[in-house]
C-alpha cells in the first residue's frame, strides 16, 4: 500500500471535503482518503498495482474539484486576497445603492419621482429596472458561487455554494418574474403599486455579498492558524557562511551539505543542524524548545537550524541540512498533525456529508407548506430562501480542524510536538501514565558513588568492573569505566567477553572468570556485612552492580542516576490532573521504591525488575487492568531509549523525550523537545484545552442549525409574527463561521505557564 498527499482546490466547506473523499474512495484500489479542509490537502492510501495518482486526480476532478499530486504549503496570497477584497468593495457599494432604493423610503429618505414605487404609471417599472441593473453586476462579480454550486449539484455532491446559489438564484429569478409582471401592468395600465416590495433583488445581491464578507473574515482568521508551519519554515537563514579551500564564502543555505564547515557569528542564525568544532557562545533556542534563556555552547555542543547565536563565534560541522533539519522535521510534524482528523471530527464530517441535501429538502417542504397554508408565492419563496441561506455546514466543518491546528501550532512553539489529531484528543483522556526511569525521570548519566570489596581491595574490584564494562555501551558500564579512568586505575582487556541483555557481562581476567551485573546474574551469596551494604545502597536509591569471582561475590560497585530537577514537580502536576503515575525500571524493588519515594510515587505504583524486552508486556498488563492499575484506563507511556520503542507504540499514546533516540521518537505519538517531563503534563493540559474549544465549537454549530433552521422556516411567524429576511439569514450564517474560527484562535495564546496557573486556580 502507498500513501500520497494531494493538494485540493475548490473546497469551501465540510460538504466539499466529504465529496472529495467519496470521489477518491470510489477509485478501485483506494482504501482510504482523508481531506484536511483548512490545509487544502488530501492523503490517499491505495494499492499502487490497482490505482494511480492520475486516476485519483481524475476522480476528484469529475466531482467538481481540482487535485494535484504533492503538498503545497498554504501561504497567504496577497494578489488573490486583494482581488477578493476589491470584488467585495464593488459589490458592497452596489448593494448600498440598492438598499437605499429598496428601503430608503421606509426611513424617509427621498427618491426621484420617476422611480418612486408609490407613484403610478411607469415609476414602479423604472424602480424595478434600476434594482435589476444594480443586482446583475453583483451576481456576475460573485459568479463563482453559482458556477461552483451548480457544478457540485450536477456531480451529485451539493455543498455550501449550492445552498448560496440556490437561495440567491431563487431570489433573483423570482425578482425577474415580478419585474415582468410590473412592466406588463405598466404597459396595460394595470395596478403595480406595492409589487416592488416583492422583488427580492436586495436579497439576491446581499446574500453573496454578506457570505463573501464572512468568508473574507473567516479566511483572514483561518490563515492565522496556518502561520505555525510557515513561521517555522522561515526561521532558518536563507544564506550561510561556510569554509571551503581555506576561504569563507557566502552561499545559499540550500547548498549546504553534511560535512561542510559552517561559520556562525554573534547575532547570526544557524542555517542547519550542526556540531560545534571550535569556538563558543550563547545560543537562543527558543524557536525549538520554547525556552527563552540562551544556552551556552562549546566544542561538541549541537546547534539546531533556526536558533540564533546571541554571542560568541563558532565553527561547526553540518550534520543535517534541508528537509532533515530539526526545524524542518518539526514543521512537517505540525503540518501532518494539523492535516489529520480527530475521532470527534468524523461525526461532524458524516453529518456534513448529508447536511446539504437535507437542507434542500427542508427548504422544498417549507416552500410547499407555506403555499398550502395560503401565504402566497412571495412569502413561500422568502421562507425557503432563508432556510437555504442560514443553513451552512461551514461552522460544523471548521469546528474541529481550526482548534486542532491552533493547538498543535501552540504546542510546537513550546517544544511539545503532537503528531496527530487522534493523539491530541486521546491525551486529554489520560488516566494512567507509565514513565521509564533512566533518561526520563533521571538525567540518564550514571555516576559511581560507592566501591565495596569483600576483602578490602576496592581498587582491584574497580579494575575488574572497568575491564568487564570496557566493551559495554550500557550507561552503567560507561559510568564505571569513566570513574576508573578518573582514578587512574588500569582496565586490562577481558578474554571470552560475553554481554547478557538485562543481566550483565562476564569475561576472564588473569585466568579467573568474573561476572558483573545484578545479583541473580552474578550468582553466589552475600556475607552478613555485604548483605547490609547491598541493602543500604538499594535503600538510598543506588543501583548495586555485583562483582563475582568464580561464582562468589567479591564486591559491589554502586551507581546512581541523578533525578532531574523538574521530575518531582512533573509527577505532582500529572497527579493533579487526575492521572495515576507509575514508574517502570530495571532496578530491583528496593532501589526502585527508594527512587519512587524521592519522586512522590507510591510503592504500589512502582514496577521494578523490568527487563528491556519486558516493557512492552508491562504496558500491556497495565492497559488490561493488571499490574495494580485496576480498571482499563487510557494509558500514556513516556520513554526515551531504543528499548522503549515497542512500549511507546503499544500504549494508547506514546511520548518520547527529545533527547531520546530517533527510534523512540519515530515510535511515539508526541515528542517533548526540551526533555522536560513537565511538558508531558503540559501536553495533557493542551489536549484538554483544545478539546474544550472543539466541544464549544461543535455545540455552537449544532445548536445554531437546530435553532436557526426552524426560525428561518417561519415556525414562529404564525404565533408571534417573528421571521427572518434572507439578508439577516446570510449575515447569521457568516457570523457562525467567523465565531467558530475566532473561538479556536484563542488557543494561539496558549502557553504551559498559563495552563499551569489555570490548573492551580481550579484546585
Which residues are designated catalytic?
436
> For the chain, percent helix, then strand, then coil, each to nearest 5?
55, 20, 25
Angle between helices 589-599 and 567-576 (to 10 degrees): 80
Instruction: Give the whole-angstrom CA distance, residue 338 versus residue 73.
Output: 12
Shortest CA distance to 407 belongs to which of 395, 396, 416, 398?
A: 416
Count of C-beta atoms within a 10 Å radius of residue 413? 21
Q: Write the DSSP symbol of residue 494.
A: P
Residue with cell 535503600: 539
DSSP string over 399-464: HHHHHHHHHHHHHHHTTEEE--HHHHHHHTT--EEEEEIIIIIEEEEEEEEEEEETTS-HHHHHHH
| Phi-psi label, residue 281: left if phi above 0, alpha if psi -120 to 50, beta otherwise | left
Residue ranges of E strands in 522-615: 543-549, 552-563, 580-584, 606-607
The phi, psi pair for 158, rounded to 5°, reads -60, 145
CA dist 341 and 35 (Å) reads 8
Are 437 and 595 contacting, i.e. CB atoms less than 8 angstroms apart?
yes
| Residue showing cell 568544532 | 277
User: Grid coordinates standing for 479?
Assistant: 559510568
Can you name the residues that pair with 450 across neighbouring β-strands?
558
Residue by residue, DSSP assigns 198-263 as G--HHHHHHHHHHHHHHHHHHHHHHHHHTHHHHHHHTTS-SEEEEEETTEEEEEEGGG--TTPEEE
Residues 221, 745: contact at Cβ < 8 Å? yes
**Pairing mode, strands 2-9 and 41-46:** antiparallel
CA distances from 493 to 205, 422, 471, 517, 551 (A): 89, 52, 9, 18, 20
The three cell numbers locating residue 159:
455543498
> Helix and strand tally (H, E) in the chain?
27, 24
**664-680: burial string, b at 16+ Cβ within 10 Å, e else:** bbebbbbbbbbbbbbbb
Distances (CA, A) of 759 to 410, 433, 748: 18, 18, 18
Q: Find the Cα–Cα–Cα–Cα dihedral 614, 619, 624, 628, rounded to 10°.
A: 90
Alpha helices in 310-376 (DSSP H): 326-339, 343-372
> Which candidate, 371, 374, 432, 362, places its Cα nearest to that of 618?
432
Contacts of 578 (CB under 8 A, 6+ apart): 431
Cβ atoms 233, 276 nearer than 8 A: no
**DSSP conformational letter for 48:** T
CB atoms within 10 A of CB 458: 16
Judge contact between 242 and 261, C-beta under 8 A. Answer: yes
Amino acid at each position: 500500500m502507498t500513501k500520497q498527499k494531494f493538494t485540493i482546490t475548490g473546497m469551501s466547506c465540510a460538504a466539499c471535503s466529504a465529496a472529495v473523499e467519496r470521489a477518491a474512495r470510489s477509485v478501485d484500489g483506494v482504501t482510504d482518503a482523508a481531506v484536511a479542509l483548512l490545509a487544502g490537502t488530501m492523503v490517499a492510501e491505495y494499492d499502487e498495482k490497482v490505482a494511480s495518482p492520475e486516476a485519483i486526480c481524475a476522480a476528484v476532478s469529475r466531482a467538481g474539484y481540482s487535485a494535484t499530486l504533492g503538498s503545497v504549503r498554504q501561504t497567504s496570497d496577497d494578489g488573490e486576497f486583494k482581488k477578493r477584497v476589491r470584488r467585495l468593495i464593488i459589490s458592497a457599494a452596489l448593494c448600498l445603492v440598492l438598499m437605499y432604493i429598496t428601503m430608503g423610503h421606509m426611513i424617509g429618505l427621498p427618491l426621484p419621482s420617476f422611480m418612486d414605487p408609490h407613484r403610478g404609471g411607469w415609476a414602479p417599472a423604472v424602480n424595478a429596472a434600476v434594482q435589476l441593473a444594480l443586482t446583475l453586476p453583483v451576481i456576475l462579480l460573485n459568479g463563482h458561487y453559482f458556477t461552483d454550486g451548480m457544478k457540485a449539484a450536477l456531480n451529485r455532491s451539493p455543498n455550501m455554494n449550492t445552498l448560496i446559489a440556490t437561495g440567491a438564484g431563487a431570489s433573483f429569478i423570482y425578482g425577474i418574474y415580478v419585474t415582468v409582471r410590473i412592466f406588463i401592468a405598466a404597459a396595460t395600465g394595470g395596478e403595480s403599486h406595492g409589487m416592488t416590495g416583492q422583488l427580492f433583488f436586495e436579497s439576491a445581491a446581499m446574500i453573496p455579498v454578506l457570505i463573501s464578507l464572512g468568508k473574507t473574515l473567516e479566511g483572514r482568521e483561518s490563515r492565522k492558524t496556518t502561520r505555525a508551519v510557515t513561521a517555522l519554515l522561515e526561521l532558518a537563514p536563507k544564506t550561510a557562511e561556510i569554509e571551503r579551500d581555506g576561504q569563507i564564502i557566502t552561499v545559499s543555505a540550500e547548498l549546504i551539505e553534511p560535512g561542510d564547515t559552517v561559520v556562525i557569528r554573534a547575532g547570526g542564525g544557524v542555517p542547519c543542524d550542526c556540531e560545534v568544532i571550535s569556538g563558543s557562545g550563547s545560543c537562543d533556542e527558543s524557536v525549538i524548545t520554547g525556552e527563552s534563556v540562551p544556552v551556552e555552547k562549546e566544542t561538541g555542543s549541537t546547534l539546531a537550524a533556526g536558533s540564533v547565536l546571541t554571542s560568541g563565534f563558532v565553527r561547526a560541522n553540518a550534520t543535517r541540512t534541508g528537509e532533515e533539519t530539526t526545524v524542518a522535521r518539526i514543521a512537517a510534524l505540525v503540518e501532518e498533525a494539523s492535516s489529520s482528523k480527530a475521532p470527534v471530527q468524523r461525526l461532524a464530517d458524516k453529518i456534513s456529508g448529508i447536511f446539504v441535501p437535507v437542507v434542500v429538502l427542508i427548504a422544498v417542504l417549507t416552500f410547499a407548506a407555506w403555499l398550502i397554508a395560503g401565504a402566497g408565492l412571495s412569502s413561500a419563496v422568502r421562507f425557503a430562501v432563508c432556510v437555504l441561506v442560514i443553513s451552512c455546514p461551514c461552522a460544523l466543518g471548521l469546528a474541529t480542524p481550526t482548534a486542532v491546528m491552533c493547538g498543535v501550532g501552540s504546542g510546537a512553539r513550546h517544544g511539545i510536538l503532537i503528531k496527530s489529531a487522534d493523539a491530541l484528543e486521546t491525551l486529554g483522556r489520560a488516566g494512567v501514565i507509565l514513565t521509564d526511569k533512566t533518561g526520563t525521570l533521571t538525567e540518564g548519566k550514571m555516576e559511581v558513588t560507592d566501591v565495596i570489596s569483600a576483602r578490602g581491595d576496592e581498587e582491584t574490584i574497580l579494575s575488574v568492573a572497568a575491564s568487564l564494562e570496557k566493551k559495554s555501551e550500557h550507561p552503567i558500564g560507561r559510568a564505571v569505566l569513566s570513574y576508573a579512568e578518573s582514578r587512574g586505575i588500569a582496565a586490562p582487556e577481558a578474554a571470552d567477553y560475553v554481554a547478557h541483555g538485562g543481566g550483565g557481562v562476564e569475561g576472564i581476567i588473569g585466568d579467573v572468570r568474573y561476572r558483573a551485573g545484578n545479583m541473580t546474574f552474578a550468582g553466589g551469596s552475600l556475607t552478613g556485612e555485604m548483605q547490609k551494604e547491598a541493602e543500604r545502597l538499594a535503600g538510598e536509591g543506588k543501583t548495586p552492580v555485583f562483582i563475582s569471582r568464580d561464582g562468589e561475590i567479591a564486591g559491589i560497585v554502586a551507581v546512581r542516576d541523578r533525578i532531574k530537577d523538574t521530575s518531582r514537580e512533573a509527577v505532582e502536576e500529572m497527579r493533579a490532573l487526575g492521572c495515576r503515575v507509575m514508574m517502570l525500571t530495571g532496578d530491583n524493588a528496593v532501589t526502585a521504591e527508594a527512587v519512587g519515594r524521592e519522586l512522590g510515587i507510591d510503592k504500589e505504583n512502582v514496577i521494578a525488575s523490568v527487563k528491556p524486552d519486558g516493557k512492552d508486556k508491562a504496558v500491556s498488563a497495565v492497559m488490561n487492568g493488571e499490574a495494580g492499575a485496576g480498571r482499563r484506563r487510557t494509558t500514556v507511556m513516556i520513554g526515551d531509549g531504543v528499548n522503549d520503542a515497542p512500549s511507546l507504540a503499544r500504549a494508547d499514546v506514546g511520548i518520547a523525550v527529545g533527547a531520546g533516540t530517533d527510534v523512540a521518537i519515530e515510535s511515539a505519538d508526541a515528542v517533548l523537545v526540551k526533555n522536560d517531563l513537565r511538558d508531558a503534563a503540559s501536553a495533557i493540559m493542551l489536549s484538554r484545552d483544545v478539546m474544550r474549544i472543539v466541544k464549544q465549537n461543535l455545540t455552537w454549530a449544532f445548536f445554531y442549525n437546530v435553532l436557526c433552521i426552524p426560525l428561518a422556516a417561519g415556525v414562529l411567524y404564525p404565533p408571534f409574527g417573528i421571521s427572518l429576511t434572507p439578508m439577516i439569514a446570510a449575515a447569521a450564517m457568516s457570523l457562525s463561521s467567523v465565531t467558530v474560527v475566532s473561538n479556536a484562535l484563542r488557543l494561539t495564546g496558549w502557553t504551559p505557564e498559563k495552563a499551569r496557573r489555570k490548573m492551580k486556580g481550579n484546585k
